Amino acid sequence: MHAESFKMNKILLCIILLFFLSCKESNQSNLSPYQFKNYVFTNWIYSEEIKDLSFRGHLIKPVGFPFLITRIKYLNNQSNALITDCLYYKVPYKNDSGTIFIQQLKDQVDCPELPNEESKKLENIKKFVIENANHSLMFEIDQLKFSVPLFNIKGVSTHEKLKFERENKKLNGFRLINLNEGLSDKNIYIGSYNHRFSLNTAIQCRKINSQCEVIGEDRCEQCRFGFYQVIDYNCPQGGSRFCGISHCGEKNEPACIRGSITKVDDNDGICNDGLIPVRDKNNILICQ
């Protein structure tokens, strides 16, 4: 009897052990091909910036370690900020199959050289092809082929007399917005309606120095009421810029741009009658 109960206990123990062994750790970062497609499609259709593909077409080298293919910035679920994904690929080599990694940047400024442990992974890849063409990102992963339309990526605009602007986008004048979590109520633009250059209240959103270098960040896209350019160092990329509505030509405001050929000299600009352009302490041409 004692032997029998001991035998039963052993069986029970084995069953319990089996039970725990079957509890495979569910690894959140391992994706199936369809999960990968779903992630890429539902997020990257909102791409606003894609860094040039460092490798394109059928990727077969370098082998041995994951390398960065591209960096994608796309709208978050309220379209009030951009999320950055880094796409990596480890090429298959001999018995080692390929792996695609997607790492979402949290605090890092730029994509690290190698993906971290929290990256999403698609493993057991034999063939991976990627192309960025015709306003789409095209993927071929073994048997799975799909493309992600890129509505928000624009190239250089073309301008033609008597015509509207052509943005060189998938659909001219169209932008896909992600509002899966509704609109935010957080203020993201800077500047106030009554900010004026002449009152020293205008926010300088871009600063250029005498060597035509941009000092600090260019944040003119964040200006709530647009921005205007001033005449300071006659640089090829234009001058310094300030947030707000332009009052160029008025007293103590920047001079308006007269042009490139018609200006009399580098100190020429358009001012109201009775005012003349002079340089201020920051070399900005103002009307006094």
Partner 1 sequence: MKNYKRRLIISALFAVIMIVIVAYMATYFMPKVSKSDKNIQEISDLEELLQNSSEIHRVWWEGEDSKEWGEVKENCLKKWNIKSDFDESLMRCNPKLIQCVSEFSKNKKLKIENDPVLVGKSNSTIINLDEGGYLFTIKHSKTGRMINFILKNFCHEKYLEPRIYAYGEIPKKISEDFQFDNLEQDIYFDSHLVLNFELEDFLKATNSFSGDYHSEDWFLPAGKVKLETMEKYCNFHGKELMSAEIFDAATFLPNEMENKKPDVVLRSPYFWSKKTKENLDNCNLIFSSECLATNKYKTNFVNPTWAGLFDSMGTYMEAFRNPIEPDNNLKASSFYLSRNSKWHRLGKRSHWSGEGNDLRHFFVNELELNPSIDEIKVGFRCMRRVLK
The interface with partner 1 within residues 2-41 (CB under 8 A) comprises 4-5, 8, 11-12, 15-16, 18-19, 22-24, 26, 32, 34-35, 37-38, 41
- Applying CB under 8 A, which of residues 173, 200, 216, 265 lies at the interface with partner 1? 173
Assess 198 for contact with partner 1 (CB under 8 A): no
Which range, of 50-58, 99-107, 135-143, 218-226, touches partner 1 by CB under 8 A?
218-226
CA distance 59 to 92: 9
Q: How far is CA 221 from CA 110, 116, 202, 232, 241, in A?
A: 21, 32, 15, 20, 11
106-145 binders of partner 1 (CB under 8 A): none
- Applying CB under 8 A, which of residues 72, 87, 231, 248 lies at the interface with partner 1? 248
Contact 224, 190 (CB under 8 A): yes
Query: Largest alpha-carbon pair distance within the chain?
Result: 117
Which range, of 103-111, 120-128, 153-161, 194-202, touches partner 1 by CB under 8 A?
153-161
Q: Which residues contact 42 (CB under 8 A, 6 or more apart)?
A: none
Q: How far is the CB of 146 from partner 1 (least distance, A)?
A: 8
E strands, 19-149, where?
47-50, 57-58, 67-75, 82-90, 98-104, 120-125, 128-133, 136-141, 144-149
Which range, of 95-103, 120-128, 185-193, 278-286, touches partner 1 by CB under 8 A?
185-193
Q: How far is the CB of 270 from partner 1 (least distance, A)?
A: 5
- Give the DSSP letter of residue 250: S
Which range, of 55-63, 78-86, 129-137, 207-215, touches partner 1 by CB under 8 A?
78-86
Q: How far is the CB of 105 from partner 1 (least distance, A)?
A: 16
Assess 188 for contact with partner 1 (CB under 8 A): yes
CA distance 221 to 243: 9
Given the structure tokens 């018995």, which residue do they identify? 95
Interface mask toward partner 1 for 49-68; x: CB under 8 A: --------------------
CA distance 223 to 243: 5
Supply φ then ψ for residue 34, to 5 degrees. Answer: -70, -30
